[in-house]
Amino acid sequence: MAEALGSAVLGTAVSKLWDTVEDVIKTIPSFKDELKSLQSTLAKLKPVIEQIERSHRELRRPEEEIEGLIKQINKGEDHVRKCSTLRRWNYYKRYSYTKKLHALDQEIIRFFQLDAIALSWRTGEENSLRLQEIFARLHLAERDGGWVSYSIPGPPEFSVGLDVHLKELKMQLLKEEVSLLLLTAPGGCGKTTLVKLLGHDEEIKDVYKGNLYFVTVSKTPNLMVIIQTLFDQKGDRVLEFQSDEDAINKLEQYLLKRIADHPILLILDDVWSDSFVKKFEFDFRIPNYKILVTSRIKFPVCKFIYELRPLNDEDSMTLFRHSANLQDTSSFISEEDVKKIVKRCGGFPLAIKLIGRSLNGRPAAVWHKSVTSDHSILRTAEDLLRCFQSSIDLLDEEITNCFMDLGSFPEDQRIRVDALIDMWSELYKRERNRSNDKGFREKIMKDAMNAIGMLDEIAMRNLASFVVTRKDASCHDVGCYCTEDFVLQHDLLRELAIQQSSKEPLIEHRKRLILDISGNNVLDWWTEQREQPINAFLLSITTDEMFSSSNWCNILPTKVEVLVLNFHSKKYILPEFVEKMEKLKVLIVTNHGFFPADLGNFQLLGSAPNLKRIRLEKVSVHSLWETPVQLKSLEKMSLFMCNIGQAFTYGTIQVSEVLPNLTEINIDYCKDMVKLPVALCGIVHLKKLSITNCHNLDELPEEIGMLVNLEVLRLRSCTDLSKLPDSITNLHMLSMLDISDCLKIRGLPKQIGELKNLEELHMKGCSQLGRLPESTKDLAKLELVICDEEGKQLWAHVKEEFLPNLKIKVAEKDINLNWLITNRF
């Protein structure tokens, strides 16, 4: 027993008790029955004791949880030892010790019947949260250059007419002579849906086991980023390549090692160039290695081709009825008229879903107008776009504008809802109460609700896909909880959005100017010496890794309010014309490369007097303020997957002088943040500080108590944070505190009751949180606590005795990886 249980505290106590029982049984036969029973109990519980010791050691659980049992066992060992000293004639003491031995046996049994079950439950809960943390850590550096997951993305919930295609495609793929297979069809035919179905087919999964790879390529692929995602799909170490050739060589070496397990299938989705396919062939030196390509183009390099045909009439009608939510019969539309509408869609699933969604719930007059439309049967992508136009015509002006704005973001990339909130809250301000009785939280919630409402309208008509990543009870405050939600848009629909924005032939007359630049192949007017006047309120420029920042055009963008810059490079320089953007309100800079990039010319923003919001993704923030830039109007800064470094450190200059009106900071997935910069605590006007998914953050400075105007403090999923500083109780304006999934926090500050305005406390997943401080009874304004079942027990007494109006809400479990999925249409 001693060898088995080792030297851990509980194991040591039990081992000593076992040895003492052994000795006493040999010397004092009168207690033999009781001691044998106790010994039997200890022997049966040995595996459970080992498990408890192991879980406490691995999870670093406090010894207090089993301290009572350890004391009881040590006390029992003392009783057993005293049994050997009793005189035979002392019957009273013998009787007393017999009862004590029996009680010890029962106490040990009771602990493992009740307390150990509770410990096991808690351990399971914590392991569940740690599993989520592991997923988060593995996928922390979100790879927007392609699909990032351990599996092929799932197909849509409803599809029709693909069963025969799936069987034929699978049959052709599994032929021995086929090493490269092209699946081709026009855009919107369902190529991606078909390969998703293939990837989830049981026979295919059985053949390829864990060697299935899927990546979306798109028009302007970054080869190194795509290959990095292929490594990442299987959880392998992410490499930084010196060149495209180096990346290809390392991938070939990697696949040669993987082939020892099972055959390999690489799916390249949405390919636009056969030269890109050739890079992955490796002259097919790898045995049992196949490539499946989807493309709108029939590449000559592909000997084996499968053409996906449009849906037949019956399947088209089924899909349309589902999309339009039509019953078998309708009082205002005849079967023949439905057939006429469906026929115009030409069997294109995307068109059928789009038209069906647009007519869903619409009055009879709208349906009859669609019937009498003179659209011909769809044959080309241009026809498809014209077909989609009828759906756009049914949108009101504000939703149409928002749909066109989605074209500002690159194809096949996630569009962050937070970015859209920043954009739309400035471009489309609805009437809202700006009086003093309207709190900061209400304002940001209203901005979020407006954006989400518009996205729901767009998604309802299949013009985009709105992905809500987490649906748990802690998503109560919408304004705070959509940082991980995103939007996906089919590239054809993006083309339509850009087409809608480009109806004015002259550049200077467009309200939105959306430019995609491949290499240094720029438009004619771009290279002209004269300043090109730009009267658009939204300017979006997307460049690839071959673009040189020295080639920025010479424009006069005096009316631009929103600037969206998308790039793929390690270094990026803001264009000189930013200095002329007097009306600029929102700047969104997104690096779609694999690693954070240095950003130059940041000082130009000092000439933008109206700049209110800055959002940076995958940027090295420490490079921004080498020369401090005063941004007098800046209200909100969002940093996503950025390198923080020594940001916000300006020597003798105070941050409050550089950012005098900053009220909101969002820091998300910034893995190098270990300490919150003390300098941020000097921004006394700050009302919201959100630090989420920063897994290496282990400490908050005491100076955080200086943020006396803070209303919202989010520390969600900061898994290394072990405590909240006592100075947090100085935040008397704080109305919402979120420490959800902070796994290491063991307690709340003793004087937390001083947070007199605290209304909401989110503490789901705080598995090590022990007793609540006595001062929690003083949280008179606390209305809502969101927690786990275990936390509910902690708060039940406080509610019953002191806070009868308190609502305790148990968060629903929602362990999912939606936030990783790049679902395409």
pLDDT single digits (tens) 39-51: 777 776 666 666 6
The gap from C-alpha 476 to its chain's centroid, in whole angstroms, comes to 17
pLDDT of 46? 63
Residue 348 lies in a domain: no
Domain check: are 767 and 694 in the same one? yes
518 residue type, one letter: S
Give CA–CA dist 477/712, Å, rounded.
11
Asked whether residue 277 carries a pLDDT value surpassing 80, the answer given is yes
Within a domain: 59:
yes
Is the pLDDT higher at 565 or at 153?
Answer: 565
Query: What span, in angstroms and rounded, lies between the C-alpha atoms of 718 and 697?
Result: 6
Give, in order, the Cα–Cα distances in Å from 703 to each of 70, 369, 679, 695, 699. 41, 65, 9, 21, 12
Q: pLDDT (tens digit, 9 = 90+) per residue, 767-794?
A: 788 789 999 999 999 999 999 888 898 8
Asked whether residue 120 falls in the same domain as residue 217, the answer is: no
> Which token pair is 324?
């339009």
Say yes or no: 61 and 200 in one domain.
no
What are the tokens at 349?
Answer: 């699933």
**Domain that residue 92 falls in:** 2-138
pLDDT of residue 596: 87
Give the rounded distance of the alpha carbon of 613 from its chain centre: 22
**146-155, 212-221, 511-520: segment of lowest average pLDDT:** 146-155
Whether 124 and 212 share a structural domain: no
Residue partners of 727: CB distance under 8 A and separation at least 6: 702, 703, 704, 705
Give me the pLDDT at residue 330, please.
Answer: 59
Of 284, 307, 330, the last residue of a domain is 307
Q: Is 376 a domain residue?
A: no
Which of these ranges, 122-131, 392-401, 448-457, 532-541, has the smallest mean pLDDT?
A: 122-131
Spatial contact of 411 and 218, defined as CB atoms under 8 Å apart? yes
The SS3 call for residue 638 is: strand
Give 434's pLDDT tier (boundaries 50, 70, 90).
very low
Using CA of residue 809, residue 814, residue 815, residue 816, what is the dihedral sign?
negative
User: What is the mean pLDDT of the segment spanning 580-594?
Assistant: 93
Work out the mean pLDDT of the chain and round it to a whole number.
Answer: 80
Among residues 532, 501, 518, 492, the alpha carbon closest in space to that of 408 is found at 501
- Say what the pLDDT of residue 136 is: 44
- At 306 the pLDDT is 93
Q: What pLDDT was estimated at residue 649? A: 65
Looking at the structure, do residues 101 and 194 belong to the same domain, yes or no? no
Q: Is residue 79 part of a domain?
A: yes
Kindly give the interhelix angle for 223-233 and 244-258, rounded to the nearest 10 degrees.
20
Closest by CA to 718, choosing from 740, 689, 748, is 740
- Kindly tell me if the per-residue pLDDT of 567 is higher than 70: yes
CATH of the domain at 199: 3.40.50.300
Which tens digits make up the pLDDT trace of 48-79? Answer: 666 666 655 555 555 555 666 677 777 777 77
DSSP per-residue string spanning 702-761: GGGGG-TT--EEE-TT-TT-----GGGGG-TT--EEE-TT-TT-----TTGGG-TT--EE
Average pLDDT of span 697-718: 93
To the nearest 10°, report the CA torsion of 125, 126, 130, 133: 80
Other Cβ atoms less than 10 A from the Cβ of 663: the count is: 21
Note whether 687 and 752 are same-domain residues.
yes
Q: Of the segments 28-42, 247-261, 517-531, 562-576, which one has the largest average pLDDT value?
A: 562-576
pLDDT of residue 618: 92
183 and 104 both lie in a single domain: no
Q: Do 221 and 176 share a structural domain?
A: yes
The residue that leads in pLDDT, 430 or 697, is 697
pLDDT beyond 90 at 183? yes
| pLDDT higher at 594 or 591 | 591
* Token reading at 456: 């729901």
Whether 390 is covered by a domain: the verdict is no
Q: How many Å apart are CA 419 and CA 636, to the nearest integer?
A: 12
Angle (CA) 235 241 246, round 5°:
110
**330 within some domain:** no
Say yes or no to pLDDT of 798 above 60: yes
Residue 804 clears pLDDT 60, i.e. is over it: yes
Predicted confidence at residue 42, as pLDDT, reads 72
As beta bridge partners, residue 785 has 761, 808
pLDDT in tens, 357-371: 888 888 888 888 777
Give the model confidence (pLDDT) of 535-555 as tens digits: 999 999 999 888 887 778 888
Residues 824 and 677 in one domain: yes
- Closest by CA to 659, choosing from 631, 684, 682, 686, is 631
The pLDDT, as a whole number, for residue 765 is 87
- The answer to whether residue 707 is domain-embedded is yes
In a domain, 186, yes or no: yes
Tell me how far apart the alpha carbons of residues 516 and 518 are, in angstroms, rounded to a whole number: 7
Statement to judge: residues 130 and 185 lie in one domain: no
Task: Encode pLDDT of 496-508 as tens digits.
Answer: 889 889 888 888 8
Average pLDDT, integer, range 459-464 = 77
What per-residue confidence (pLDDT) applies to 45?
A: 65
Q: Does 101 share its domain with 180?
A: no
| Mean pLDDT, rounded, for 137-145 | 37
Q: How many domains does the chain have?
A: 3
**pLDDT tens digits, one per residue of 674-685:** 888 888 898 889
Say which CATH number the domain at 731 has: 3.80.10.10
The domain boundary, picked from 138, 172, 199, lies at 138
Is the pLDDT assigned to residue 638 strictly greater than 80? Answer: yes
Out of 307, 338, 373, a domain closes at 307
What pLDDT digit, counting tens, does each position of 127-138 carry? 544 444 444 444
Cβ pair 508, 531 in contact under 8 A: no
- Alpha-carbon torsion 651, 652, 654, 659, what sign? negative
Residues 167 and 131 in one domain: no
